[in-house]
Amino acid sequence: MGALGIDFGAILGSLPLALLLAVSLGAAVLYKFSNGAFSGSAAIVLLFMAFACLVGMLPSKNPLYDVNPGTYLAWLTVLGFTSMAIGVIVGSRPGKLGVSVDSSYEGWGARSVAVVLWGAATAALINYGTGDIPLLAADINQTRLNGTDAGLLGRFWPIIFPLLQLGAISGFLPKFRTERAGPRKGGVEAWFGLLCLGLLILSGSRSLVFIPLVAISLLQIEKRRFGLLKIAVGVAMILVAVGVIGAARVNSVEQQNLLRATGAEAGEGWLGSATVAIDLALQTGPRVWASAENRLGGERIHGDLLVGDIRNFFEPSVERSDRQVTRLIGRDPTVLGGSPPTVWGGLNLDFGALGVLLGGAGMGWVLARSRVGYLRTPSRAAALWYAYIGTYFLLSIYSYVSVRPSWLVAAGFCLFVRYADRYSNAHSYGVEVQRVSRGSGGAYSRPV
C-alpha cells in the first residue's frame, strides 16, 4: 500500500489482464477496419487467443489444482502476444494483402492426392475394425488415453489423424472456388470430407474434430469477412458443443473421479455440468502452467516439451509432451492423460522468457507468411496449410506448441499437393506453367 493509500500491487496484478483485454479489443477493431497485416482471419486468431487466455487466467474461487496464475505468468502472456503481433507485422511484408481470395484452385484432378487421402481413410477403417473404437467404449476416456488395442495399423495413427483432418478440410474447399466444381465432383469431395470427419469423431477426441471445423471457419472468414456478431455466435455454438460433450463426460462415474483428481467440482444437472466443462476447458491450461512452475521452482526443462511428441513417435517408451507435464505437476497420466500448459506455458517451461519472446515472434511470422501465400496464390495447398497452421496456433492457447508429427505431416502433405497440382495443371493444358508477377507484389500461375 502506497503513501497515498493506493494498492500498487493490485494495480500491477490487474494491469497485464487489462492489456490482454486491450489486445482482444484491438484485434476486433483491426478486423473490422484494417486491410493490412491484422485484417481477416489473422486478426480473429489473435483476438480469440488473447480473449481465451484472459478468461482462463482470471482468478477463481475454486481453482483447478488449487492454484491461480500469478502476475508474473500474466506478464509473460502479454510478452508472448506482443512478440506474436510483431511477428505478424514483419511476416506480412513486403507486398499488399489486397489480392482477392476468390480465385481458381489449380489441379483439382490430381489422382495422387486422392490416393493418399483415401489411403488414410482406409487405414483408419482398418484400425477401427481390428482395434478399439473409443467413442463406442464404455469408458471413452480410459480407452482413448490408455487403450491397449489401437488396431492393425495403430502405430501410424499420428500420421493418419492429420491426413483425415486435411481430408475433411479439403472436402469443403470447392466452396471457395470461382470456377466451382460440377455437382457430381463437388458432391463426392463433400461426402469424403464428411467421411473423414466421422472417422475423427470415432476417436473420441474433441481436439481432433475441432481442428478441421475451425480451419474451415477460418477460410470462410477470410473469404466472406463475416461481421463480428456472426463470428461471436459461431464461437458460442462451439462452446455449447464443448459443454454438451463435456457434460456427458462429467456425468460419468469415471469423469467424476477425474474431477476429484484435479480438485474441480462437478455441476448440478446437465446445465451445471456443461458450465463446468466450458470452465475447465478455459482455465485448465493456465493452472497447469502455474502448478508446473511451482514444482520447477525456477528451473527449466530445456526443450523436453518441444521435442517430446516427435520423440514419442520414434521411441514409444518416451512419453508425449503433455503427459510429461502431467507427471511434472504430480499427477497420474493414466488417469488424467496429458496436461497442456498453453503455448506460452510450454515455451516458458522449456526456455524461459526468451523462449516466449522468440517463440511468439516465430508463430506470428509463420502465420503471416502462410496467410500472404494463400492470398497471393489461393491454391488448394496454400489454403490447406494456412487453415491448418492457423487453427493449430489458435488452439495452442488451450494446448501447447511442439514438434508434432501432425503438423509435420500436414506440411509434407501440402507440399505434395502443391507439386501434384502444378503437374496436373501443366499437363492438362499440355504446356508448362510459369509464375508471373502482379502489380500488387503477388504472383499467380498461368499456362504459357
* Structural domain count, the chain: 1
Alpha-carbon torsion angle 168, 170, 174, 179, nearest 10: -170
pTM score: 0.85
Q: Which pLDDT value is given to residue 59? A: 87
Q: Is residue 104 part of a domain?
A: no
Q: Is residue 136 part of a domain?
A: yes
Q: For residue 170, give its domain range.
A: 111-421
Residue 391's alpha-carbon distances to 16, 45, 187, 279, 362, in angstroms, are: 25, 8, 25, 21, 16
Q: Is residue 86 part of a domain?
A: no
Here the contacts of 186-195 (C-beta below 8 Å, separation 24 or greater) are 192/117, 192/118, 192/121, 192/167, 193/167, 193/168, 193/169, 194/168, 195/121, 195/167
- Determine the residue type at 37: A
Tell me how far apart the terminal alpha carbons of the chain are, to the nearest angstrom. 74
CA distance 432 to 212: 33
Q: Which pLDDT value is given to residue 185? A: 56
278-322 pLDDT tens trace: 777 788 899 999 999 999 988 999 999 999 999 999 998 899 999
198-216 pLDDT tens trace: 999 999 888 899 899 999 9
CA distance 106 to 96: 22
Q: Is residue 79 part of a domain?
A: no
Q: Which pLDDT value is given to residue 101? A: 37
| Chain CA centroid to CA 311, Å | 21
Q: Which pLDDT value is given to residue 356? A: 97
Q: Which pLDDT value is given to residue 47? A: 92
Taking 70 as the pLDDT cut, the residues of the chain under it are: 1-13, 37, 94-110, 138-148, 174-187, 242-277, 424-448
Q: Which pLDDT value is given to residue 263? A: 52
Q: Is residue 34 part of a domain?
A: no
| Chain CA centroid to CA 168, Å | 15
Q: Is residue 71 part of a domain?
A: no
Q: Is residue 45 part of a domain?
A: no
Residue 347's alpha-carbon distances to 258, 301, 370, in angstroms, are: 27, 10, 22
The single residue listed with the C-alpha cell 469423469 is: 255
Q: Is residue 448 part of a domain?
A: no
